[in-house]
């Protein structure tokens, strides 16, 4: 059994007032260490937030770096339990026409560079034979073109990697797109299924959103069997975990 979470941590900004990251940190730390997911795909993680995750997430390896041209700015790190997985491959690319150029973007995109991180993990609880790919991303928040082309680039890169060794795949992320939209269709046409389809709306704006929209996803190849889905909706002493609900999916152990 594997417990997988996608978690838009919400960037550190004073505009969030009493919900700003420094106030949420103790709750975030406690909840992550209580829940102990096997793998977490984070989004909106600034460099000091990344350093903090590496400090407080005991027993986890945290992979990734910032999306900026000097590797600063927000990251989409992948955290996995070191006692359960062996890392066999890691890469990070920019979602752009020049994916190896740090800080690059599509021409029709917001001012924010976008990235995806991909790793190959071996599940040590599967007798050393359970291997799979894990991808984490955060698609553009403004331009449909950038979302769609970013999704196509992720699919193409996984296809390239699977052309060498075909393995099951998990994709987590904030897609900034709702079910039925074209960015989701890109993944679906490529054979990916939304394991988190029953989660309901994930963006709530600290309880201020007029309607909660599902924009956070855990997707996979069809060979992954889902056991349960839930969102972390609890509020502690008036504090939310983020302006998004983290989404958790539990699946049967898998890999080849």
Q: What is the mean pLDDT of each run of 10 residues along the chain (256 residues)?
A: 97 97 98 98 98 98 97 96 97 97 96 97 80 97 97 97 92 97 97 97 93 95 95 97 98 76
Measured CA to CA, the distance from residue 251 to residue 168 in angstroms comes to: 12
Q: Which residues have a Cβ under 8 Å from the Cβ of 102 and sit 6 or more positions away?
A: 68, 69, 70, 71, 94
pLDDT at 254: 75
Segment (H or E) for 158: helix 144-164
pLDDT of residue 128: 57
- Output DSSP code: residue 38: S
Judge contact between 174 and 136, C-beta under 8 A.
Answer: no
Q: Which residues pair with 86 in a beta bridge?
A: 122
Domain ranges of the chain: 2-251
In CATH, what number does 2-251 get? 3.60.10.10
Residue 182 confidence (pLDDT): 97
Global confidence as pTM:
0.95
Rg of the chain over Cα atoms, rounded to whole angstroms, equals 17
């Amino acid at each position: 059994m594997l417990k997988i979470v996608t978690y838009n941590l919400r960037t550190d900004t004073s505009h969030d007032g009493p919900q700003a990251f420094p106030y949420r940190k103790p709750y975030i730390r406690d909840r992550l260490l209580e829940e102990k997911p096997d793998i977490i795909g984070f989004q909106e993680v600034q460099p000091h937030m990344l350093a903090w995750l590496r400090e407080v997430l005991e027993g986890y390896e945290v992979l990734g770096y910032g999306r900026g041209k000097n590797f600063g700015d927000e990251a989409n790190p992948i955290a996995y339990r070191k006692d359960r997985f062996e890392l066999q491959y890691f890469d990070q690319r920019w979602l752009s026409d020049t994916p190896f150029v740090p800080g690059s973007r599509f021409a029709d995109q917001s001012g924010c560079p976008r990235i995806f991180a991909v790793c190959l993990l071996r599940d040590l609880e599967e007798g050393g034979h359970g291997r799979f790919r894990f991808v984490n991303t955060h698609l553009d928040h403004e331009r449909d073109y950038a979302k769609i082309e970013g999704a196509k680039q992720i699919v193409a890169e996984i296809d390239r990697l699977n052309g060498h060794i075909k393995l099951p795949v998990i994709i987590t992320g904030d897609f900034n797109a709702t079910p039925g939209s074209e960015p989701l269709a890109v993944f679906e046409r490529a054979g990916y299924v939304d394991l988190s389809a029953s989660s309901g709306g994930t963006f709530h704006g600290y309880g201020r959103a007029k309607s909660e929209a599902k924009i956070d996803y855990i997707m996979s190849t069809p060979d992954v069997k889902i056991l349960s889905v839930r969102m972390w909706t609890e509020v502690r002493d008036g504090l939310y975990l983020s302006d998004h609900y983290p989404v958790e999916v539990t699946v049967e152990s898998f890999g080849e």
